[in-house]
Chain A
Amino acid sequence: MKKDKDNEKLVDGSPIKRRDFFRKLGTVMAGAGVAAVGAGGAAKVKGNRKADLYWQIDHEKCIQCGRCETSCVMPVSAVRCMHANKVCGYCDLCGGYYRTNAKELNTAAENMLCPTGAISRKFVEEPYFEYTIDEALCNGCGKCVKGCSSFGNGSLYLQVRQELCLNCNECSIAKVCPSGAISRVSYESAYKFKDHA
């Protein structure tokens, strides 16, 4: 290493200055690096435009642990309960509607399983009742889903609602899901429906 004074003298006569040379070399190397990463990345993108975009719950893996309710980045989880009417048994004594230790089978709050009162039912004909989820009230706790899968047909299931989901780069529920039920699916299979299988 020369002192600065000498350095200037040394490079004055030469056609290309040493520091300029290194600078240009650096630019060329950086440019090549950016081009390589760009080309490599572009090659990875090609052809899968609509693949694996939407976070969805695989209801066959879901064990209704209740973490969907608390782990979503949204103040109220983007996971809501959905009802597959074509799977439902339309029972009067519904495991997703009444608590297991319900004293009387009426709509008093202490007999209801849903903590937010999001499930309502309507008499259809003897002995069938139609159950409906009010998704504005649902918080995705999955209590009714657990009851329905344990005692009924499993027609209630949890799913990520796309109009609510922020589509995070990494779903924070997926990371705490004990059964690994949440994954990204393609555009075509957004909404893994239970009754549209």
Chain B
Amino acid sequence: MKKLLTSAGLLLGAGPLARAVNRFPRPDFESGYQYPEYSYAVPNEMLWDIIDVSVLLILLGIVTWALFKKRTRGPILAVSVVSVGYFGFFRGGCVCSIGSIQNIALAFVDPSYSLPIAVFLFFIIPIVFAFLFGRVFCAGVCPFGAVQDLVNVKNFRISRAVSGALSVIPWIYLAFALLYALTRTRFLICRFDPFIGIFRLGGDIGVISFGIVLLLMSIFTGRPFCRFLCPYGAILNVVSRASIFKVKITPKPCISCDLCHDSCPVDAIKAPYGNRTGETPTEGVKRIVIYMAVLPVLMLAGALILRWSSPDLARANSEVRLYEMVTEYEASFSDVMEPEVEAFYSQGRNLAELEASKDEVLKSFRLYSTLAGILIGLVVGLKLLEMSLKRGRKEYEIDYGHCVGCAKCFDYCPQNKILAKNE
């Protein structure tokens, strides 16, 4: 009887929201019945963290060695296969460096959010490597880049104007991903991850189809996801432009044969350029001054447009949506109650409190969408400036922002062949 009272007390003490009701008393068994014991496994997350980070470091090390010392693609190909197998299919593609941007951003603004150490390491280690050696992470360690690289057969070059315009998309994607992560609405990068469904052999059909389309595209042009979508690639792009050690196509003098230019899947090798546009220096200066003047205008426009549309953007947030549902229900009192509305009432919440929390969400949406708009305006403006800067080049040069270190150009360079023969 005492037991019964304590168990009833536990249930009552569980809070006003407790749905469990002790309608029937706990049986008094006379046959000596024993309650079954269940044990549930909690996986050793710490061990997996250590294994994942070690694999990441080893693969990054192999790629760096292959690019700078060995100067061959073989090990990078092997790393790509291992990465797709391990990080992709075996570990299910989670947590990945691309998605970790959101956790890091959230950790910086929300003190209640606790950042797991593996997520932090997956974010910072590839960036440190990019700062030292360029985008070695993209080369084959990232399962998404690796899977696109493995299916790549032929490279049709995309025109400079189109690829320039498309390369702004990662930044826009990053701006929106940060906006929705910082307002604790959604992790957009995780939601619209095109390859994770393929790795897990199941998931949202729309996203998987998108992933398949990307894979089909990457047969004909190198890494469409990395170049025109990946927000982490955008960060690595900026960092690796300023990297300390830079990969070279050949240690010998360039003979301007154009072979490496054709081999590059991501169009990161720039051909020699005479800069004979027939343009006087003043015209060039005038254009750059105009773009510099346009830059703040673009930032302002981006800020205003996104701030103005922030109430609509905020409708993705669950609190805002719940507020809409509840007010709609209270206006109509229809027979069918959405599960959200049912849960709202069963938890004993009231409309005033919901409205306050909705207003809080709207406020943070106003702030962060303004900042996202500024970022988008800044990136578009800088892209215009970059594309209008015309510099002469005497030989083939690597664009270190876009080079993913796949090492395909090494095999194409005839100077490297001579080197190999002499050895």
Contacts and interface: CB of A to CB of B under 8 A. Distances in A.
Contact of B15 (A30, A45, A60, A73): A60
A49 B88 CA distance: 25
Given A37-B127, A89-B23, A166-B92, A53 B45 contact: yes
Interface string A167-191: 1111010010011100000010011
Interface of A is mostly: loop
A73 B200 contact: yes
Contact of A63 (B33, B342, B391): B342
B21 A45 contact: no
A177 to B, nearest CB: 8
A44 B45 contact: no
A124 B31 contact: yes
Contacts of A180: 318, 343
B115 A61 contact: no
B239 A162 contact: no
Contact of B275 (A4, A33, A128): A4
B242 A23 contact: yes
Interface residues of A, number: 71
A60 B17 contact: yes
Interface string B206-244: 000000000000000000000000000000001101111
Interface string A26-64: 110111011001101110110011011110000111110
A149 B115 contact: no
Contact of A38 (B116, B124, B202): B124
A34 B115 contact: no
A30 B108 contact: no
A169 B343 contact: no
Contacts of B201: 75
B176 interface: no
Contacts of B339: 63, 65, 67, 178-179
B128 A34 contact: yes
Interface residues of B, number: 83
Most chain-B CB neighbours within 10 Å: which of A29, A128, A151?
Answer: A128
A109 interface: no
Nearest to B288: A1
A75 B275 CA distance: 57
Given A63-B343, A128-B29, A41 B202 contact: no
B22 interface: yes
Contacts of A45: 115-117, 120
Contact of A152 (B11, B14, B23): B23
A155 B196 CA distance: 36
B53 to A, nearest CB: 13
B332 interface: no
A143 interface: no
Interface in A142-167: 149, 151-155, 161-163, 166-167
Contacts of A149: 19-21
Contact of B94 (A51, A65, A166): A166
Given A75-B202, A153-B24, A30 B19 contact: no
Contacts of A161: 40
A86 B7 contact: yes
Given A27-B244, A45-B115, A169-B99, A178 B340 contact: yes
B7 A87 contact: yes
A74 interface: yes
A125 B27 CA distance: 10
Contacts of B285: 1
Interface in B189-204: 190-191, 196-197, 200-203
Interface of B: 7, 10-11, 14-15, 17-27, 29-31, 33, 35-36, 38, 40-43, 45-46, 92, 94-96, 99-100, 102-104, 107-108, 114-117, 119-120, 123-124, 127-128, 131, 186-187, 190-191, 196-197, 200-203, 238-239, 241-244, 275, 281, 284-285, 288, 318, 338-340, 342-344, 346-347, 391-392
Given A1-B281, A45-B115, 8 more contacts: A41-B115, A54-B42, A61-B343, A73-B197, A87-B11, A125-B29, A153-B22, A169-B96
The 9 A-B residue pairs with the shortest CB-CB distance in the complex, in nearest-first order: A89-B24, A179-B343, A154-B20, A30-B242, A178-B339, A65-B339, A178-B340, A170-B187, A4-B392
Interface of A: 1-4, 23, 26-27, 29-31, 33-34, 37-38, 40-42, 44-45, 48-49, 51-54, 59-63, 65, 67, 73-75, 82, 85-87, 89-91, 124-125, 128, 130, 132, 149, 151-155, 161-163, 166-170, 172, 175, 178-180, 187, 190-191, 194, 197
